[in-house]
Amino acid sequence: MSHPLHRGLRHLALRVTNLPRSRHFYEQLLGMKAVWEPDPDNVYFSSGIDNLALHQISKSEMESYDRTKTQLLDHMGVILDSPEAVDRMYREIVPTIEALGGRIAKQPKQHRDGSYSFYFADPDGNLIQALYEPSISGLRFGAEA
């Protein structure tokens, strides 16, 4: 079911503490491609159907930065085609994720709603769910259709 004013969540912006480290993480682990770099403190990526913006926290903000008092992102998700694709992604990222500054947060797990996923964190601790979700994983968007 589509909404008349939008086509779904296609953009996410994250504030990060080390832009070069985070940029490398998203390029290497998720294959994001930079599509716009308006200045040294901002980079915008695309996967072809999604848009991710990374914004460097300013030096003055870094001095008083306190994770316990800032707005926190719960998690974002990447959709995969099948439980096997979730397991394949897990196997492929485990050997390199720590070298890129990330970590595995939760092992692959079958959920009560029929979905299957695992969680990993980027260098700043933002959680990403690699998810097979039966009702949406089969959908195709724009260029995929």
Identify the structural domains of the chain with CATH numbers, from first to last. 11-67+74-140 (3.10.180.10)
Which residues fall within 8 angstroms of residue 36, CB to CB, at 6 or more apart? 43, 44
Per-residue confidence (pLDDT) for residue 8, from 0 to 100? 59
For residue 4, the tally of other CB atoms under 10 A from its CB is: 4
> Closest Cα to residue 40, out of 23, 27, 25, 28?
23
pLDDT in tens, 66-93: 777 766 566 888 888 899 999 999 999 9
Residue 144 has pLDDT above 80, yes or no: no
pLDDT in tens, 10-68: 778 898 889 999 999 999 999 999 999 999 999 999 888 788 889 898 888 877 777 77
Per-residue confidence (pLDDT) for residue 141, from 0 to 100? 59
Per-residue confidence (pLDDT) for residue 7, from 0 to 100? 63
Per-residue confidence (pLDDT) for residue 83, from 0 to 100? 95
Whether the pTM exceeds 0.75: the reply is no
> At CB < 8 A and 24+ separation, what contacts does 54-58 make?
54/13, 54/14, 54/16, 54/19, 54/22, 54/23, 54/26, 55/13, 55/14, 55/15, 55/16, 55/19, 56/15, 56/16, 56/17, 56/18, 56/19, 57/15, 57/16, 57/17
